[in-house]
């Protein structure tokens, strides 16, 4: 069955806020057998919201919207829903109590606008929002279902399990397509496609292999025909893993930082970071992973040379003769980070993220990256393309890659 997603809000349409809700919804419902049909993003505009809903209901059994439910005047989703599904605004005592409780918990003052969130269309079933104030509304028409969720990402994340339960009760469970994902790192898409071409040619009819690339890694998704035997599907998975060889990092969609942490945990090792041009991004990616604290001791963002000298023990002699962006500096950053954070492993970066800072022989994108474990130390010079953000992203991903190869 099809699922269409609608993201409502000028802040998304105009690029002021990056939508992460649609991805979360897709990742939640794909494994349950739903086919994600399309994502539509529209502004806070009644006509556009209505046509997106009607188009979605025409193509999909299930439609989930997020956004457009805030307390301010430009949020008009409720009235559009009533145009489509009928009903009128009625006061809901449970929602009102919840709004009051949320405000009390956050020690905030309620006002009239907030109180208006307790007015809900009579045509909707309500799922109480345990994370925020805007209620979740469920509409039905001819067996099809529309669920309207608030746009705040933490509320979508928090409430999606309850929503999924209501949806499962309505639709029952679906025939699952055999599907397995593989996280691949250290190889570019075209080289990977060449490497896998024999495997792809030999796949049974109806099997599909999809490349889902990002700046950091490629996710491969192998799909069997619905109802394919477990043996046949698992046999294909084995063949794919064989063809991937050393580039296969993990079964499933696993962030590289989580793979690094798991590998360290298994080897009973701890990690420190010393970041110059990546500016804390590596530490940030590690600490986004729940439970990282038992492996990741901490790190230093050594933007100024004084910090490199004072905390990491890079001597001013090295900085003066070799420069901050050099093999010698990164080697000292590695040992300095291990010592300062009492860790057995470290990664370190020093480079020019741009747009300024380039010097003759060291253009923007020049980055020295080091990784060190009890097994050895590897320091290499890289030249990354793209802008500041791209250099930071690629240097971080490469640091993880280099560390993984030492583990």
User: Which of 125/380 has CB closer to a copy of itself?
Assistant: 380
Contact 27, 21 (CB under 8 A): no
User: Which of 43/46 has CB closer to a copy of itself?
Assistant: 43
Range in contact with a copy of itself (rule: CB under 8 A) among 226-234, 261-269, 291-299, 370-378: 291-299
Gyration radius of the chain's alpha carbons: 26
Least distance from a copy of itself to the Cβ atom of residue 251, Å: 15
Interacting residues with a copy of itself between 81 and 110 (CB under 8 A)? 105-106, 108-110
CB count within 10 Å of CB 123 equals 18
Residue 388: which of 234, 291, 277, 290 has the closest Cα?
A: 277
User: Which of 23/86 has CB closer to a copy of itself?
Assistant: 23
Least distance from a copy of itself to the Cβ atom of residue 301, Å: 4
Phi and psi based region of residue 208 (left: phi greater than 0; alpha: psi -120 to 50; beta: remaining)? beta
Residue 26: which of 248, 217, 253, 209 has the closest Cα?
A: 253
**Is residue 390 part of the contact set for a copy of itself (CB under 8 A)?**
yes
**Is residue 118 part of the contact set for a copy of itself (CB under 8 A)?**
no
Query: 152: which residues sit within 8 A by CB, 6+ positions away?
Result: 132
**Is residue 257 part of the contact set for a copy of itself (CB under 8 A)?**
no
Cis-peptide into 36, omega within 30 deg: no
Interacting residues with a copy of itself between 41 and 70 (CB under 8 A)? 41-44, 48, 52, 70
User: Which of 170/388 has CB closer to a copy of itself?
Assistant: 388
Range in contact with a copy of itself (rule: CB under 8 A) among 90-98, 167-175, 192-200, 237-245: 192-200
Torsion of CA 364, 218, 283, 268, to 10 degrees: -130
Interacting residues with a copy of itself between 319 and 378 (CB under 8 A)? 340-342, 353-357
User: Which of 74/235 has CB closer to a copy of itself?
Assistant: 74
Helix (H, G, I), strand (E, B) or coil at 212: strand
CB count within 10 Å of CB 306 equals 11
d(CA 278, CA 396): 7
Residue 345: which of 267, 398, 288, 281 has the closest Cα?
A: 267
**Is residue 225 part of the contact set for a copy of itself (CB under 8 A)?**
no
User: Which of 87/405 has CB closer to a copy of itself?
Assistant: 405
Interacting residues with a copy of itself between 172 and 191 (CB under 8 A)? 188-191
User: Which of 56/123 has CB closer to a copy of itself?
Assistant: 56
**Is residue 18 part of the contact set for a copy of itself (CB under 8 A)?**
yes
Range in contact with a copy of itself (rule: CB under 8 A) among 89-97, 142-150, 272-280, 368-376: 272-280
Number of residues that bind a copy of itself (CB under 8 A): 117
Least distance from a copy of itself to the Cβ atom of residue 123, Å: 25
d(CA 388, CA 383): 13
**Is residue 10 part of the contact set for a copy of itself (CB under 8 A)?**
yes
Strand partners, 12: none
DSSP state of 225: P
Write the DSSP string, 76-95.
Answer: -HHHHHHHHH---EEE-HHH
d(CA 124, CA 188): 48
Least distance from a copy of itself to the Cβ atom of residue 293, Å: 5
**Is residue 204 part of the contact set for a copy of itself (CB under 8 A)?**
no
User: Which of 82/390 has CB closer to a copy of itself?
Assistant: 390
**Is residue 210 part of the contact set for a copy of itself (CB under 8 A)?**
yes
Two tokens, residue 384: 């990354």
Least distance from a copy of itself to the Cβ atom of residue 37, Å: 8
**Is residue 205 part of the contact set for a copy of itself (CB under 8 A)?**
no
């Amino acid at each position: 069955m099809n699922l269409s997603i609608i993201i409502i809000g000028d802040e998304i349409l105009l690029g002021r806020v990056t939508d992460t809700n649609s991805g979360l919804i897709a990742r939640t419902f794909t494994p349950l057998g739903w086919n994600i049909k399309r994502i539509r993003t529209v502004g806070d505009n009644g006509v556009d919201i209505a046509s997106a809903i009607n188009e979605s209901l025409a193509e999909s059994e299930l439609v989930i919207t997020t956004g457009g439910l805030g307390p301010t005047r430009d949020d008009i989703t409720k009235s559009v829903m009533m145009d489509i599904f009928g009903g009128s605004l009625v006061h809901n005592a449970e929602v009102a109590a919840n709004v009051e409780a949320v405000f009390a918990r956050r020690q905030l003052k309620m006002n009239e606008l907030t109180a208006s969130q307790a007015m809900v269309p009579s045509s909707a079933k309500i799922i109480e929002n345990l994370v925020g104030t805007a209620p979740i509304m469920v509409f039905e028409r001819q067996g099809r279902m529309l669920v309207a969720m608030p746009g705040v990402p933490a509320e979508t994340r928090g409430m999606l399990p309850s929503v999924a339960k209501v949806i499962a009760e309505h639709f029952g469970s679906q025939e699952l397509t055999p599907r397995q994902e593989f996280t691949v790192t250290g190889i570019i898409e075209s080289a990977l496609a060449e490497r896998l071409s024999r495997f792809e040619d030999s796949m049974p009819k109806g099997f599909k292999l999809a490349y889902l690339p990002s700046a950091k890694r490629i996710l491969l998704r192998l799909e069997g025909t619905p109802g394919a035997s477990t043996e046949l599907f698992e046999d294909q998975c084995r063949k794919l893993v064989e063809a991937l060889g050393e580039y296969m990092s993990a079964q499933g969609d696993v962030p590289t930082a989580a793979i690094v942490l798991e590998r360290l945990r298994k080897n009973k090792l701890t990690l420190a970071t010393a970041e110059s041009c990546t500016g804390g991004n590596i530490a940030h990616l590690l600490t986004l992973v729940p439970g990282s604290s038992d492996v990741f001791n901490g790190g230093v963002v050594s933007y100024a040379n004084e910090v490199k000298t004072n905390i990491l023990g890079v001597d001013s002699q090295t900085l003066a003769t070799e420069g901050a962006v050099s093999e010698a500096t990164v080697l000292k950053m590695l040992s300095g980070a291990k010592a300062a954070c009492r860790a057995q492993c470290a990664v370190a970066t020093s480079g020019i993220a741009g747009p300024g800072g380039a010097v003759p022989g060291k253009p923007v994108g020049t980055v020295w990256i080091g990784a060190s474990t009890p097994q050895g130390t590897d320091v290499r010079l890289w030249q990354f393309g793209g802008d500041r953000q791209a250099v930071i992203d690629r240097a971080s991903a490469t640091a993880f890659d280099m560390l993984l190869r030492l583990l």
